[in-house]
Amino acid sequence: MSAWEMTKAALRKVCKDNNGYAHAPELNDVLHLHCKGIAEIENLEDYVGLKALYLESNSIESLRGLLHLANLRSLYIAKNYLCALHGATSLTSLTTLDVSDNKIRSFEGLRGHAAITTLIASGNAVADVSGIEPLDGCASLVTIDLSKNKLSGAECADFFLEKFADRAKLLKLQGNPVVSEVPSYRKKMVSGLRALRRVLVVTPVPIRPRPRCERRSSRTGSRPPASRVSPPRVPRIQSRRARRDAFQSPPSTPFNAT
């Protein structure tokens, strides 16, 4: 089966099949091009109004061909052959990027991106801190999924603790060697990432205030504040029975009439 070619006629047909605007490409805000066998992105010059673009499960090796889409907010390009994200900063409105199951080794192409908030990049080939260091310049980034990569070494955990302590709300790193290499990994991440709402190691376990306090105490050596312990309540039926038995029991000293 030959690869699907992104001709203008083929794009118009896709728009028509998805109830879009076949004869006014600039009016389309969503375009579904997944599972087409696309090898190269082309002929999107007229689709300047796109806000969401779906390109999963193709054979794309580069972002060339879509870097002019200034209004694009969500790009789903998982399961392709991307090795880098060169030019991604040109997508100035991009807030959500899904590049899962590619061959990316570094996020250099995202350095300094001001708008991106969610990065889904599981199943790639990022191996060390040099590959994730460019994310420090993404000021709005709060949701990070780097599961099933090759991140190794305590310096990777230290990077997130230092750079994302006050902004990361979700961090997903299961499937990376760093999870088993860092002693007390979960405790360390929970206590260090103050803005974190959920840390995923093996299963999605929510972080509640008391466990966070206890983990921070285990790191600093201080004792967590004692919780109020109310006295055990005596069931009402039991207390009634006790009073009844006390009233009906014979006196310990016999009564002697005069």
Comparing 48 with 232, the larger pLDDT belongs to: 48
- Average pLDDT value for the chain: 85
| Residues found in the chain | 258
Per-residue pLDDT, 195? 78
Residues 55-66: tens digit of each pLDDT: 999 999 999 999
Enumerate the domain spans of the chain: 8-225
Per-residue pLDDT, 201? 46
Distance CA 47, CA 69 (A): 8
Torsion of Cα atoms, 8 then 10 then 14 then 15, to 10°: 30
Comparing 106 with 223, the larger pLDDT belongs to: 106
Interacting residues of 147 by C-beta distance below 8 A, sequence separation 6+: 122, 123, 172, 173, 174, 175, 176, 200
203: pLDDT confidence band, cut at 50, 70 and 90? very low
- Count of CB atoms situated within 10 Å of the CB of 43: 16
Distance CA 120, CA 144 (A): 6
Least confident interval from 2-6, 85-89, 188-192, 242-246: 242-246
Which CATH number applies to 8-225: 3.80.10.10, 3.40.50.2300, 3.30.70.890, 3.30.70.1400?
3.80.10.10
Per-residue pLDDT, 125? 97
Q: Is 81:102 a contact under the CB 8 Å cutoff?
A: yes
Distance CA 48, CA 6 (A): 16
> What are the respective helix, strand and coil percentages of the chain, to the nearest 5?
30, 10, 60
HSE value, Cβ hemisphere, 13 Å, CA-based, for 122: 10
pTM above 0.85? Answer: no
Distance CA 7, CA 28 (A): 16
Residues 108-146: tens digit of each pLDDT: 999 999 999 999 999 999 999 999 999 999 999 999 999
Can you tell me which residue has the tokens 């900063």? Answer: 89
Residue 104, pLDDT above cutoff 50:
yes
Per-residue pLDDT, 186? 84
Residues 10-52: tens digit of each pLDDT: 999 999 999 999 999 999 999 999 999 999 999 999 999 999 9
**Residue 204: what residue type?**
P
Per-residue pLDDT, 101? 98
Least confident interval from 65-69, 149-153, 201-205, 238-242: 201-205
Distance CA 34, CA 44 (A): 15
